[in-house]
């Protein structure tokens, strides 16, 4: 069991941010302490929502309250997702520093949310620079999609990449500081039609899992992926196992969502997929 401090957005309806990450982690037996950065009615993909942004000082106060309980020494993993501005980034980095002081073995996993290949970049122009220069260098694990991977190294063109080029870009991100890079939504130029990949790159090697490409776009699936991979990697220390288990679990969740016809992830209905995925996928070693 891992204890995870997860600093992310929260929605009442649907599943993104902590509202996507917390339950799968709990279903796997992990202790999760969610700290909310927004409290919205629903995710912003609907175009309309209600509810407040949580002020950075208030987010920091929640972390301070946990610290005052003497609990930060028990945190194994800090997890963060969408960061809307420098204020939240400062809070996250401060929380990581506090946790590491209390428990030097703790790890920080950052999902550097910026956008995707279909929608483009949906954050302020300062955010990619902030992530590249300050946040990612502090992380042990980063989980960008292929689009975000390019932005982390200043690559903003949409030209197709070979698999070797994607791996090389992940290596450049590792040079910023993280020891593990998980790249999601990998659509390299030489892949089989109708497939999509998930790539793990560490100092020991690079591995690719490919699954069928399902005809849906589901908000929050990246949040689930980042949470499952980071916690599984931390618990077992094996990137191949973490990659294969995460790919199977997320595919099962997306398959259940597609079958339901719902726009929202079927997070509760598909809960057995996190424990025992109904379909398994084998990782292929690239180097």
The CA R_g of the chain, rounded to the nearest whole Å, is 18
Which tokens sit at 223?
A: 């949040």
Question: Beta strands 180-186 and 141-142: pairing type?
Answer: parallel
Three-state SS string across the chain, please? CCEEEEEEEEECCCCCCHHHHHHHHHHCCCEEEEEEEEEECCCHHHCCCCCCECCHHHHHHHHHHHHHCCCHHHCCEEEECCCCCHHHHHHHHHHHHHHHHHCCCCEEEECCCCEECCCEECCCCHHHHHHHHHHHHHCCEECCEHHHHHHHCCCCCCCCCCHHHHHHHHHHHHCCCCCEEEEEEECCCCCCCCEEEEEEEECCEEEEEEEECCCCCCCCHHHHHHHHHHHHHHHHCCHHHHHHHHHHHHHHHHHHHHHHCCCCCCCCCCCHHHHCCCCCCCCEECC
136 neighbors 176 (Cβ within 8 angstroms): yes
Low-confidence ranges of the chain (pLDDT < 70): 117-123
Which tokens sit at 127?
A: 């955010």
The reported pTM is: 0.95
Show the domains of the chain with their CATH numbers. Answer: 3-285 (3.40.1190.20)
Using a 10 angstrom Cβ sphere, with 0-12 exposed, 13-18 middle and 19 or more buried, the burial of residue 70 is exposed
What is the pLDDT, as a whole number, of residue 226?
A: 98
What is the pLDDT, as a whole number, of residue 154?
A: 85
What is the pLDDT, as a whole number, of residue 130?
A: 87
- For the chain, the first-to-last Cα distance in angstroms comes to 31
Q: How far apart are CA 113 and CA 125, in angstroms?
A: 13
Query: Which whole-number Å values give the CA distances from 165 to 4, 150, 170, 238, in the listed order?
Result: 33, 10, 9, 24
226 neighbors 17 (Cβ within 8 angstroms): no
What is the pLDDT, as a whole number, of residue 123?
A: 67
Which tokens sit at 9?
A: 């957005």
Short-list 68, 76, 83, 65, CA closest to 100: 76
What is the pLDDT, as a whole number, of residue 117?
A: 62
Using a 10 angstrom Cβ sphere, with 0-12 exposed, 13-18 middle and 19 or more buried, the burial of residue 262 is middle
What are 6's strand-pairing partners?
34, 79
């Amino acid at each position: 069991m891992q204890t995870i401090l997860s600093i992310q957005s929260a929605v009442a309806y649907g599943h993104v941010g902590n509202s996507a990450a917390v339950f799968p982690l709990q279903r796997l037996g992990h202790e999760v302490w969610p700290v909310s950065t927004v409290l919205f009615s629903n995710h912003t993909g609907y175009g309309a929502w209600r509810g407040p942004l949580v002020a950075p000082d208030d987010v920091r106060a929640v972390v301070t309250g946990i610290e005052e309980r003497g609990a930060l020494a028990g945190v194994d993993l800090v997890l963060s997702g969408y960061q809307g501005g420098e204020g939240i980034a400062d809070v996250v980095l401060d929380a990581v520093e506090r946790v590491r002081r209390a428990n030097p073995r703790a790890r920080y996993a950052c999902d550097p949310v910026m956008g995707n290949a279909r929608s483009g970049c949906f954050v302020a122009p300062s955010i990619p620079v902030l992530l590249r220069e300050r946040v990612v260098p502090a992380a042990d694990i980063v989980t960008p999609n292929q689009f975000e991977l390019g932005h982390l190294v200043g690559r903003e063109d949409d030209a197709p990449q070979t698999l070797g080029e994607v791996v090389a870009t992940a290596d450049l991100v590792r040079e910023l500081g993280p020891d593990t890079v998980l790249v999601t939504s990998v659509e390299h130029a030489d892949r089989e039609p109708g497939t999509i990949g998930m790539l793990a790159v560490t100092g020991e090697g690079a591995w690719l899992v490919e699954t069928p490409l399902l005809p849906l776009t589901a908000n929050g699936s990246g949040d689930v992926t980042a949470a499952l991979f980071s916690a599984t990697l931390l618990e077992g220390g094996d990137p191949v196992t973490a990659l294969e288990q995460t790919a199977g679990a997320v595919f099962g969740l997306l398959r259940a969502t597609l079958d339901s016809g719902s726009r929202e992830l079927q997070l509760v209905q598909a809960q057995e997929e996190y424990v025992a995925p109904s379909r398994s996928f084998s990782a292929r070693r690239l180097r």
